[in-house]
Every structure is written in structure tokens, then in C-alpha cells.
Amino acid sequence: MQEVNPELVKYATLTIPGHDPIQLPVLKGTMGPEVIDIRALGKQGYFTYDPGFVSTAACSSRITFIDGPKGVLLYRGYPIDQLANKANYLQTCYLLLKGDLPTKEQYEHFEYEVKHHTLIHEQITSLFKAFRRDSHPMAIMCGIAGALSAFYHDNLDIYDPEHREKTAIRLIAKMPTLAAMAYKYSIGHPFVYPKNDLSYAGNFLHMMFATPCEDYKVNPVIERAMDKIFILHADHEQNASTSSVRLAGSSGANPYACIAAGIASLWGPAHGGANEACLRMLEQIGSIDRIPEFIARAKDKNDPFRLSGFGHRVYKAYDPRAVVMRETCHEVLNELHIKDHPILDVATELEKIALSDEYFIERNLYPNVDFYSGIILNAIGIPTSMFTVIFALARTVGWIAHWTEMQEMPESRIGRPRQIYVGKTLRQVKAMQRRKK
């Protein structure tokens, strides 16, 4: 079925004692639940209340569809496992941005555009030097991404489709360069410039691991695994960081500054920071015999500890990305001849125990995208502190695709949620000497 506009299918009647019944339109999209359009409620003197937006559709979108109970993830209608196994990340970027997979000619043009925007303005290299060497690379990425708006603010008309397209290309192209620079800076190595004769993933690995003393030979299995990790992280509907980008963008802010907002939100351990937190958790567990202790902690309401890499706001089944990630994990460990990887053994046993435990079963808690990704990145030699940076690199296309869609949607307006106020009622200021404790 082709894309549709939300269709009015029926009306819901809201009955509030002492108030005339309120008719609310019920809308239907291409797939997924029907939505109750509550836009008229404000004029009737009511707000809805939904902390965390558990039951709130903040926008209409054509980009990504998730069926949480069934564990389905589609990018523009294509299943994530098919894209991971039959396409590559740049084809997926084209798909997310333009709505269809590219033909050979379209792909070659798109790839040329991206490859010829991988360099960053040389002055930005000095910005890195303003950070302490031991800064968390996500702190650096927040700062540098925001700084890009200083370099492109003037020649960027967000209402000009060509400017928007150029911005998308620039961001997709430059994020790997900036991510690798954040890593190189943290280990005191010189920055490695991009090479246009390498693939997108190969170029990233090259910028991460080459040095002036010796080049880096890209291993095709590792290159493919890296590309799949980028695909699996490319977009995910209205998650916290994408919603942050949309809300920032709704004011007309510079898209580079909006991406910085997305990076900041992604950093949290409840979101993109979970891949780093998950590997540290697996290392802390250390051995299979300590798993019961951590399972008990995860179930203890008085203990803030949660199993990182487990659970999801939307998926109430196995995260389809985790399925592909687990397969890729075994491919990488086999290619690198890593036999008994202690962390993988702990992860495998932890998953098995958790999935048979009543607490996790009744709450539909399954491994998510972050559960296996850290093991792959660790095996490739990428430090734990860089895991969320790689998530941000890959998710940039999703962020900018949603930012672009919002600019193109006529219904878009500045996001301005309301609240239920529970503070002090009106009171008068007293002179200091008359105030009591």
C-alpha cells in the first residue's frame, strides 16, 4: 500500500460530567494503531496528560514503522533484516531521505556526493584541541556538532530544499570523520584524513585505526559488520533523540544545532548510552556464576540497577535489530578467531536466564539493539567510550530525515507541550523582614 495522509475513520465521544460530550476524530494511517485526534481539546478547556509520551503520537511520518508487540521494524516499508543483508548503509541513507532505494545511477551519484563532503573545515580541527584529552568522546561530539552550525549558519536557508539536501549530505559525510577524530584525539594520535577510494564503513575504520606510520588494511568481514551496525542504528521512529531533533527543529533552529540536541539526548544510558553501559555491565558481571546476583538486583525495586541492553518502550518482543546483531557478533568473532569470548559467554547465559525468568517474561523484557553491539565493537578494537558515538554517527541520517520531513510537512508548527500545574497558588511578595522560614 502506498503512503497515505491520516484518514478520518470514525469519531470518539469523550463524556465528561458537567460538560457537553466532545466528539474527537479517530484517524488511521497506513499501518499501526488508530489515533484519537485531540487537537480540539485545548479549546474545550482540557489538556491530556502523558508523561514520557507513552500513548502520544507527536506527528505523522512516512519514514519508519515499528510494530512493538510483533518485533517488526520497517524503513520506508522495507524490513530491517532485508536491508541489513541485501543493501548497505549509503543505500539505506538514500532510502530514509528520499523514500525509495536508489537505482544504480542514483546510488553512484549519491555516493559521489557523500564521498566528496567527508572533509571537515580545517579550523574545526583546532576546536578538538580545546577539550581535555580524557573528555568523553560524546562530550566532544555534542560540542563539535553544535559548532558546525557556526560554519554553515549563514548559507543555510532551511526553507530551501536544495540547502536542506546539502545539509543532509554534509552531515552523513562528516560524522564518521568527526567520530574518528574524537577517538584519535583521545589517544593522542594525529587525525587521519578520509580516503575517497574506500567504502563508507571502510573509510571510518581506516580513519579510526590507520596511523602515519602504517596504513590500515580493511578486513571485508569487519567492514561489512560495521556497515550493518550503521544500518541497524540508522533510524527508529520517534525515539527520544529523534524527538529532541524534531522539537529543536520546530523552532526553525539551524539543523546542525538540532543534531547536537539529538546527540545530547542519545548519550543517556536509558537510550543510546545503553551500549556503553551494557558492555560495562557485562564486564562487571565478569563470570556466569555472578549472573544470579545481577538478575536479583535488576528485579529489586530498591536498587536503581537495570539490565542494560534489555527492555524497550516499544518492543514487547525480541528487538529485530538484536537478532541481526547477534548473528553479526558470531561472524565477527569467528573472523577474528576469538573462540571463548568471556563477555559473550556472560551475555549468552544472561539472555537465556532472563528470558526464562517470570519477572522479565511478564514485563516483555527482551534484549534490544544495544545488547550485542558492544561485544562486536569491543572485538573490533573500538573502546567502550566510543560506542555511543558510533550510534550517533549511524543515527544522524534518521535525525536529518525526520528534520527534513518536518520542514516539508504543512502541519508542522513549533512544539510547545503544556502541563498539569501542581505548584503554589497565587500569593503576594512580602518585604524581606516580614518573611518567615
Q: Which residues bind ligand SDX (CB under 6 A)?
A: 236, 239, 270-272, 274, 298, 306-314, 363, 365, 368-370
Among 236, 312, 341, 402, which one carries the catalytic annotation?
312
Q: Provide, rounded to whole angstroms, the least separation between the CB of residue 243 and ligand SDX.
A: 9
Task: Give the torsion sign (CA, 370, 84, 78, 106).
Answer: positive
Among 227, 235, 319, 370, which one carries the catalytic annotation?
370
**Residue number with CB closer to ligand SDX (111 or 235):** 235
Between the alpha carbon of residue 231 and those of residues 20, 199, 253, the distances in Å are 50, 14, 27
**Residue number with CB closer to ligand SDX (269 or 415):** 269
**Residue number with CB closer to ligand SDX (117 or 316):** 316
Q: Provide, rounded to whole angstroms, the least separation between the CB of residue 173 and ligand SDX.
A: 22
Round to whole Å and give the CA distance between 325 and 323.
5
**Residue number with CB closer to ligand SDX (24 or 322):** 322
Strands 72-75 and 78-79: antiparallel
Q: Provide, rounded to whole angstroms, the least separation between the CB of residue 418 and ligand SDX.
A: 21
Can you give the chain as a three-state secondary structure string?
CCCCCCEEEEEEEECCCCCCCEEEEEEECCCCCCEECCHHHHHHCCCCCCHHHCCCCCCCCCCEEEECCCCEEEECCEEHHHHHHHCCHHHHHHHHHHCCCCCHHHHHHHHHHHHCCCCCCHHHHHHHCCCCCCCCHHHHHHHHHHHHHHHHCCCCCCCCHHHHHHHHHHHHHHHHHHHHHHHHHHCCCCCCCCCCCCCHHHHHHHHHHCCCCCCCCCCHHHHHHHHHHHHHCCCCCCCHHHHHHHHHHCCCCCHHHHHHHHHHHHCCCCCCCHHHHHHHHHHHHCCHHHHHHHHHHHHCCCCCCCCCCECCCCCCCCCHHHHHHHHHHHHHHHHCCCCCCHHHHHHHHHHHHHHCCHHHHHCCCCECCHHHHHHHHHHHCCCHHHHHHHHHHHHHHHHHHHHHHHHHCCCCCCCCCCCCCCCCCCCCCCCHHHCCC
Side by side, which strands form the sheet with 78-79? 64-67, 72-75, 78-79
357 is catalytic: no
**Residue number with CB closer to ligand SDX (271 or 326):** 271
**Residue number with CB closer to ligand SDX (137 or 311):** 311
Q: Provide, rounded to whole angstroms, the least separation between the CB of residue 236 and ligand SDX.
A: 3
**Residue number with CB closer to ligand SDX (223 or 370):** 370
**Position of minimal CB gap to ligand SDX:** 311
Q: Provide, rounded to whole angstroms, the least separation between the CB of residue 316 and ligand SDX.
A: 10
Q: Provide, rounded to whole angstroms, the least separation between the CB of residue 374 and ligand SDX.
A: 11
> What's the number of CA atoms in the CB half-sphere (13 Å) around residue 406?
29
**Residue number with CB closer to ligand SDX (47 or 359):** 359
370 is catalytic: yes
Q: Provide, rounded to whole angstroms, the least separation between the CB of residue 68 and ligand SDX.
A: 10
Nearest to 84 by CA among 229, 205, 199, 295: 229
Q: Provide, rounded to whole angstroms, the least separation between the CB of residue 88 and ligand SDX.
A: 19
Residues serving a catalytic function are 312, 370
